[in-house]
Amino acid sequence: MNEAKQEGADARRREIVFAVACAECYLFEWVRDTVLNSDYVRINDYFVPGSISPIKDKWKDVPKKLLSERLIKGVPDNGGTTWAQFDNLSIIATDSYMRGQVGQQRRDSRRRKSRVRRKTCLVN
């Protein structure tokens, strides 16, 4: 909620990363707890440990695999404006996370303050 109150591109970027992370957690937990009835061994068939794939691919591939194994009755509609918006946000989140831009401004401002303090201490 704190990010929603802040202004600027960095706050929006952090919000987007958080929202996309929640969507990924929801998919994982839904498959693990509801579809697979907490079968922790089989979860690796759908979310391969160490595999790096974008969340938009997981939202397409995992339900298709579950459908092919007759564990669910249908797959989400990946068309329309809702999917297009999610796709766009997932790209922003992935780029921000991979480039380390999330929280970068806060770290940079702390470094600048730290440098100012060190210079002040050296002068005195």
Kindly report whether the global pTM for this prediction surpasses the value 0.85.
no
Query: What distance, in Å, lies between the first and last C-alpha atoms of the chain?
Result: 42
Span 101-113, pLDDT tens digits: 445 555 555 555 5
* CB distance 72 to 62 below 8 Å: no
Amino acid at 70: R
Q: Write the pLDDT tens digit of every residue in 39-58.
A: 999 999 999 888 888 888 89
Burial of 59 (0-12, 13-18, 19+ CB in 10 A): buried
Residue 42, classed as helix, strand or coil, is coil
DSSP type of residue 30? I
